Chain A
Amino acid sequence: MTGAIATRAAEVPDIVIDVQGLTKSFGGRPVVKNLSMQVHRGLIYGFLGPNGSGKTTTLRMLCGLLTPGSGHGTCLGYDILTQSAEIKRHVGYMTQRFSLYADLSVRENLEFVARVYNLDDPHAAADSAIRRLGLENRASQLAGELSGGWKQRLALGACILPGPELLLLDEPTAGVDPKARRDFWDEIHTLAHQGMTVLVSTHYMDEAERCHEIAYIAYGELLAQGTVDEVIAHAHLATYIVTGPDLAELAERLKAMDGVDMVAPFGTALHVSGRDRARLDAATKDLREQGPQVWSPGEATLEDVFIDLMSRTKDNFA
């Protein structure tokens, strides 16, 4: 299969996903608005955003499962509006909800996928996938009886089986334990290293930081994209990290203040951020000088940035 990828690699443009102005409405309600994005080959591209922001809808449009209301673009060089048959052949899509056959065994599911993609030897393909996934002991277990984490693994295995050039993963690690999550990401990185492009949606910040690039979408609009550092820098968020007693009380007071845009507890500390450093400084001057808490200047985290982005768009919508 790697051979197949290699031969096609020459034809595949360096930009694997290139879409402009994608819009999708359900029953007159727009859920993805004017979305444009470019993803380069071999990158792991994280797709973040609150629930209902349109991540799944976007992924479905990219692989031909939904027809965009307007907009155009290409996926692996194929037109997303007219060449979805070709796209399906070269894209592996892992759905958010487990969508393999619960009443087929692990092996039967994998063989089914192998046959549908016309692999030469479905049995051998399933075998090697089972070995790679470490599912040897569970090969004949029904997929529906696997634990949540193993289901996710099987689903990823089934996606990778036909050797796609682009993986679209929709929250692949939801409900997966930390160790399995790390293995999962190691595997994704290995695949990317071999030239596969991965677009992965997630709600986990640590996973976002493992991506080469990220995009943040809220209420159907793409609000930020770039590397993690770029996204953080672009947000221009001034941040203090506060430690000491009575943080909960302090947080309540801060939230009401003008110039303070975001207050979030992180463990034993409180992150206090503002979009305008001067206003933030002015607003918190007394508190910083009086204590009893200790205020130190800090860096905004990705999560600070996302929460701020989300509250900003919510303000726009209100």
Chain B
Amino acid sequence: MSAGAGTDRSAVDRRTRGFRAALTRIYAAFIKELLQLRRDRITFATMIFIPLTQLLLFGYAINTDPKHLPTAVLIQDESSFSRSFVAAMQVSEYFDIRTRATSEEDLDHLILSGRVQFGVQIPAHFGRDLIRGERPAILVVADASDPVAAGGAVAALQGLTTIVFSRDLIGPVASRAPQELPFELRIHRRYNPAGETRLNIVPGLMGTILTLTMLIFTALSVTREVERGTMESLLSMPIRPVEIMLGKIAPYLVVGGLQAGLILGAAKLLFGVPVVGSLGLLVVLTLLFILANLSVGYTFSTIAKSQLQAMQMSFFFFLPNILLSGFMFPFRGMPDWAQAVGEILPLTHYLRIVRGIMLKGATFVDLQVDVLALGLFTLAAMGLAVARFRQTLD
């Protein structure tokens, strides 16, 4: 055997041995972190509790398309048209007809006092005028001080008119059919025909909940060691910054995965949100997203001087995630600069991924740009963390 081959082989041997040794050290940090996590009852409870409560709270509370809005009607025309119109309103679920107003003043008062959100007035001779083709008007007074709340209902009402009257206007009056009616608005919402916000919100909530919890877990991990004084020991041992980082992040990847599973399960059971696309793809990409946030948190942890600072940094990062990712406001509706900021945030890409897979059945090919963005983001954050990690106590 030539001397050259011998050194080659021993170099390779040394490298594989070095790699194994590094894996062992990562494993050491992983086990240590996992044990600490298990001992920390509060954190452990938080991990289960936070996602569930947030999901329940926001899943039910945030509803930009509310139904059963209190409504008053003033019927001045006792015709079959009026009756079927009111019945249809009730059936639509948007309107909860609480009162019959006795006069126009009464109706005004009901709205002004906030007791109802809608007032519907069917004027006298409505049925007769309709048959005569005089295009009578139904007056709808909406309390638009909460425009979002009213929007869906108004749209529903407009749609309703077309349906109701196409049913009643038969025989001789069939020529007065819907196409001639003054307003006709078709509600057409792709992927969410009922306009149910939950379908849109719940996958988004999964992203925001994971962002918050993952950030905080790792943001505290290094600063905690510094504050408890254990960093001094750790740094005096032969473990490298990369190994510490991977060992510290890994347990939370598991935790994050469990959390995501919990949210997905609840989304299906409680809100009936489907997963149209591949569940496997969703799981893999969710783990990538979790990793991205863990890396950011860890980076904060290497920069912050105390746990409090690390928390503040996390929230500073969390806010734009909520506001500029398309979770709170439609992404395409934001100004260009805000969209540019949004493109940097992991949640923006994850929202496209999670909504894409769960609601639209998107595949990997459809999502590859977002996956790439998440991957690059994660690597950049990890690189920064390793570079920033203070290996001495200076």
Taking Cβ atoms with an 8 Å cutoff, the residues of A that contact B are: 60, 63-67, 84-85, 88-89, 91, 93, 95, 97-104, 108, 111-113, 115-118, 122, 142, 158
One of B24, B29, B32, B40 near A118 (C-beta < 8 A): B24
Which residue of B is nearest A142, CB measured?
Answer: B39
Instruction: Give the secondary structure class of B's interface.
Output: helix
Which residue of B is nearest A69, CB measured?
Answer: B394
Bound state CA distance, A85 and B22, in angstroms? 13
Residues of A within 8 A of B229 (CB): 95, 97-99
Bound state CA distance, A89 and B25, in angstroms? 13
Residues of B within 8 A of A115 (CB): 24-25, 27-28, 31
Name which of B103-111, B158-166, B235-243, B371-379 contacts chain A.
B235-243
Bound state CA distance, A60 and B233, in angstroms? 11
Task: Verify if B228 is at the interface (C-beta below 8 Å from A).
Answer: yes
Given A65-B235, A85-B238, A88-B237, answer yes or no on A118-B21 (Cβ-Cβ < 8 Å): yes
Which residue of B is nearest A155, CB measured?
Answer: B233
Bound state CA distance, A115 and B22, in angstroms? 10
**Can you list 23 contacts pairing A with B, beta carbon distance less than 8 Å?**
A60-B393, A64-B236, A65-B393, A66-B392, A67-B392, A67-B394, A84-B391, A85-B240, A88-B237, A88-B238, A89-B238, A93-B233, A93-B236, A99-B233, A100-B230, A101-B36, A103-B40, A104-B36, A104-B39, A108-B35, A115-B31, A117-B237, A117-B238
Residues of A within 8 A of B230 (CB): 99-101
Q: What is the distance, in angstroms, from A92's C-beta to the closest C-beta of chain B?
A: 8
Bound state CA distance, A221 and B389, in angstroms? 32
Interface size range on B against A? 20 to 34
Residues of A within 8 A of B180 (CB): none
One of B21, B29, B32, B232 near A108 (C-beta < 8 A): B32
Bound state CA distance, A203 and B213, in angstroms? 46
One of A60, A85, A98, A104 near B32 (C-beta < 8 A): A104
B30-48 contacts to A (CB < 8 Å):
31-32, 35-36, 39-40
Q: What is the distance, in angstroms, from A129's C-beta to the closest C-beta of chain B?
A: 15
In the complex, the answer to whether B39 meets A118 with C-beta atoms within 8 Å is no
B181-239 contacts to A (CB < 8 Å):
228-233, 235-239
In the complex, the answer to whether A116 meets B238 with C-beta atoms within 8 Å is yes
Bound state CA distance, A95 and B393, in angstroms? 13
Residues of A within 8 A of B239 (CB): 116
Q: What is the distance, in angstroms, from A105's C-beta to the closest C-beta of chain B?
A: 8
Residues of B within 8 A of A142 (CB): 39
Residues of B within 8 A of A91 (CB): 236
Residues of B within 8 A of A101 (CB): 32, 36, 230
Q: What is the distance, in angstroms, from B392's C-beta to the closest C-beta of chain A?
A: 6
Residues of A within 8 A of B236 (CB): 63-65, 88, 91, 93, 95
One of B27, B35, B232, B238 near A95 (C-beta < 8 A): B232
Residues of B within 8 A of A97 (CB): 229, 232
Given A88-B238, A99-B229, A103-B39, answer yes or no on A116-B25 (Cβ-Cβ < 8 Å): yes
One of A100, A111, A117 near B233 (C-beta < 8 A): A100
In the complex, the answer to whether B392 meets A65 with C-beta atoms within 8 Å is yes
Which residue of A is nearest B37, CB measured?
Answer: A103
Bound state CA distance, A116 and B394, in angstroms? 23
Bound state CA distance, A101 and B36, in angstroms? 9
Which residue of A is nearest B32, CB measured?
Answer: A112
In the complex, the answer to whether B36 meets A116 with C-beta atoms within 8 Å is no
B283-305: CB near A (< 8 Å → 1, else 0) gives 00000000000000000000000
Which residue of B is nearest A158, CB measured?
Answer: B233
Residues of B within 8 A of A88 (CB): 236-238
Bound state CA distance, A84 and B32, in angstroms? 24
Bound state CA distance, A104 and B33, in angstroms? 10
Q: Given contact pairs A64-B392, A108-B35, enumerate 19 new A-B contacts (beta carbons under 8 Å).
A: A65-B235, A65-B393, A66-B392, A67-B392, A84-B391, A91-B236, A93-B236, A95-B229, A95-B232, A97-B232, A99-B229, A101-B36, A103-B39, A113-B237, A115-B24, A116-B28, A116-B29, A117-B238, A118-B21
Q: What is the distance, in angstroms, from B240's C-beta to the closest C-beta of chain A?
A: 8
Residues of A within 8 A of B392 (CB): 64-67
Which residue of B is nearest A65, CB measured?
Answer: B393
Residues of B within 8 A of A117 (CB): 237-238
